[in-house]
Amino acid sequence: MAVSSLLRGFAGSRSRDNEALRREVLDDFEQAGIGWIWASDTEGRLVYLSEKAIDCLDRDADELLGQPLSTLFEIDRDNPDEKSDRPLNFQLSARNKLTDLVVRFVGKSDKPRWWSLSGHPKTGPDGSFQGYRGSAKDITVAFQRKLEDSRMAEFDALTGLANRHRMDRRLDSTLAAYKTAKRACALMLLDLDKFKYVNDTMGHPAGDDLLRQVGDRLRAVIANRGEIGRLGGDEFQVILPDVDDRGELGELADKIIQMLSSPYQVEGKRAIIGCSVGISIAPYDGLERDELTRSADLALYAAKNGGRGMYRFYSAELKDVEQERQIMLDDMREAMEQNHLKLHYQPVVSTADNSIVGFEALMRWEHPEKGNIPPNHFIPVAEDSDLINRLGEWALRRACEDAMAWPENVRVAVNVSAKQFANKGFVAIVTQALAETGIDPDRLELELTETIFVGDLEATEKTFNALKHLGVRLALDDFGTGYSSLSYLRSAPFDKLKVDKSFVDSCTQKDQNSAKIISAIIGLSDALGMDVTVEGVEAFDQFNLVCEKGAKYIQGWIYSKARPQEDILAEIASGGYRIEPSGPDTYRPERRSVFRRIGVIHEDHRYEAVMRDLSKTGSRIEGLVGVPVGTGLVLDLGGGQLVVCEVRRSADATIGVEFETPLINDGSGGLCTRHRVSPYALAAAGMPLTSLPPGNYPNSMLGGDGQKSQPQFMQVTVARS
């Protein structure tokens, strides 16, 4: 018995010593900062935390203990190694084992703190959950270093925006998640216009500074609506989740273009660039990243080739614009050699007596196969190559030659691109044209835009002085459309300002300030002793308004469209030095003459018809006979664009319809619907196959044979006339 008692006493003593040693080791472990111990109760509240850990967070124990663990810490989403998208609260509620989980302290602290958290759920003898027991350690320094390394790998060092790698990864994950949820995602591609010119004339450091400012402006416009990235060079990308409203996207693109076109201060100099935007929307324009990006890229090229400084939505008819651009360049070179390019002349008329005071030379290209190609299609392509200098020199010489056949008091105006103006040989080209044609320098007017002020201002001023020394006149075109500065008028010797057509188009609308702007420009010109021409006047309501505002010279269709030299000479020969204004009483900018084959859906039948006129609120359609007034229809404009409308007029095979929801600007002068509808969604809703646009639809989505009634209208064939 004595031995047994002795052994039990020894064992008890050893147990007490082991317990003391365990406590001592644990205390040393906590005090050394090697790691900390924590515990939670069954409700997930923090019930124990090492004293050193509390000190690390710079908080009092009573501010931490008793608080739910999920309100004190959160999983850091910026952790490049974190694969789980489950929040901490979920993992605790699911009683998952935690292994080196990186969490961030979300309470008040002088500086951010990150911990590595491990723990396991503790169960009692009866299997009941008793809370968590775990360890933690501070990894703030190491984690911040990892974040910085990750940021360098995923963010552009120059602008701080996401780089191509991060944007690709973000777009992939967004599209994958949204595909199953049937959610939309818009993608914008942005390209800076004339950035290369700034880079070449002002140097790469100036270009870098400009790109940083572009990044700042994009952040201000986009804010938290999406993620912005710089893909490289002067190309940017914006991902906009859950946006498919093309009206909203168009307004945003317009705002981006305006913001990025505002002048920049770079190294004490003024720089001006532009921006073109291409837009695609998932799932309509692509479901995968490559497909959606290519759609946006095609839209971007279309915007650039359409005149720059605009946006375009992707549409199925867009082709490989880069390939078309090269074809157009080749065709343009051939057109110059074959004399297919012509100059037409639009008169500038004095409102005092309707006499012609000058003509503006406007380039026309009648392609032998493609017909008339608008200048806003081929001039930007020429500006991207050296061909613009050849085109400009040819136009200048031809205009001077043609003007010599007009009365001596009639001037000729010739447009000059910024690239031409910056050409070191430009003044010599003007001098040679004057000498060889014999025209009086005062009869030649060079029309310039504010883009000539980009780059070397000293060289620009030198060119101005040389041109004024020759005696030619200078006009500032498109005044007020960009960010025209009064400093231009103070420092540059302009003889004339030209009020842009965009102000005239909206000058009679009550909710616009265009009339006040026109009045201000005319008053400014008078005060500075400059002439002013108001462009784009088409109707008498515009004509009367601008005349009331003091317009002395008008250029627009109300007097005449641009005409070839032979027409001008014939009119001059018959004594036609004056033109009486002639046009509609009211300007209607929204009406467009079109010839567009569309689908017309009525009940469970689809008809083919032709759209002849189109406005934001309605259309004239030909090809259906016997459609009563008041009939509800759905127009299929293609690409998922469905327009609900009602027939307002009906005669023979022609109907006039009014749209339930107005169309919006598509960025290229056309109109489109705000939203699009997937044909699969229509099929799933029970729309019969005969009423759907052509396509391959799963049988499971189609109900019956889709034939429920007889057609109510007669369809007739409409030919282009």
pLDDT for the residue numbered 698: 42
| Shared-domain flag, residues 512 and 623 | no
Rounded (5°) CA angle 640-642-646: 170
| Shared-domain flag, residues 411 and 463 | yes
Helix (H, G, I), strand (E, B) or coil at 275: strand
pLDDT for the residue numbered 171: 94
Q: What is the pLDDT of residues 402-459, one digit of tens each?
A: 999 999 999 999 999 888 998 889 999 999 999 999 999 999 999 988 777 765 677 8
Q: Which of 165, 185, 309, 182 is nearest to 229 (CA)?
A: 165
List the CATH number of the domain containing 272.
3.30.70.270
pLDDT for the residue numbered 2: 52
| Shared-domain flag, residues 172 and 200 | yes
Q: Residue 553 half-sphere exposure, CB side, CA atoms within 13 Å?
A: 18
List the CATH number of the domain containing 680.
2.40.10
Domain contains 720: no
User: Which of residues 318, 352, 373 is at a domain's end?
Assistant: 318
Q: What is the number of other CB atoms lying within 10 angstroms of the CB of residue 329?
A: 16
| Shared-domain flag, residues 529 and 401 | yes
Q: What is the number of other CB atoms lying within 10 angstroms of the CB of residue 458?
A: 9
pLDDT for the residue numbered 696: 42
| Shared-domain flag, residues 261 and 122 | no
User: Which of residues 318, 346, 365 is at a domain's end?
Assistant: 318
| Shared-domain flag, residues 265 and 285 | yes
Q: What is the pLDDT of residues 629-672, one digit of tens each?
A: 999 998 988 777 889 999 999 998 999 999 998 888 887 667 88
Domain contains 248: yes
pLDDT for the residue numbered 429: 95
Give the pair of three-digit tokens for residue 645. Answer: 């409308």
Gap between the Cα atoms of 462 and 492, Å rounded: 10
Q: Which residues of the chain have pLDDT under 50?
A: 1, 3, 6-7, 10, 679, 688-706
| Shared-domain flag, residues 605 and 699 | yes
Gap between the Cα atoms of 393 and 463, Å rounded: 16
pLDDT for the residue numbered 702: 41
Domain contains 582: no
SS3 content of the chain, % helix, strand, coil (to 5): 40, 30, 35
The residue length of the chain stands at 721
User: Which of residues 92, 117, 146 is at a domain's end?
Assistant: 146
Across 551-663, the runs of DSSP E, i.e. the strands, are 553-555, 563-564, 592-602, 605-614, 618-622, 624-625, 632-638, 641-651, 654-659
pLDDT for the residue numbered 547: 94
Cα end-to-end distance, the chain, whole Å: 124
| Shared-domain flag, residues 437 and 529 | yes
pLDDT for the residue numbered 17: 66
Q: Domain of residue 111: give its range.
A: 33-146
| Shared-domain flag, residues 279 and 196 | yes
Domain contains 584: no
Q: Which amino acid is at 315?
A: S
Domain contains 478: yes
Domain contains 204: yes
Q: How many domains does the chain have?
A: 5
Burial status of residue 357 (CB atoms within 10 A of its CB: 0-12, 13-18, 19 or more): middle
Domain contains 130: yes
pLDDT for the residue numbered 413: 96
pTM, to two decimals: 0.61
List the CATH number of the domain containing 443.
3.20.20.450
| Shared-domain flag, residues 658 and 560 | no
In the block, tokens 């739910």 appear at 68
| Shared-domain flag, residues 691 and 557 | no
The set of residues, in sequence order, having a beta carbon less than 8 Å from that of 284 and lying 6+ positions away, is 244, 639, 640, 676, 678
Domain contains 587: no
| Shared-domain flag, residues 371 and 469 | yes
pLDDT for the residue numbered 528: 87
List the CATH number of the domain containing 51.
3.30.450.20
Q: Write the DSSP assignment of 344-373 as a string of letters.
A: EEEEEEETTT-BEEEEEEEEEEEETTTEEE
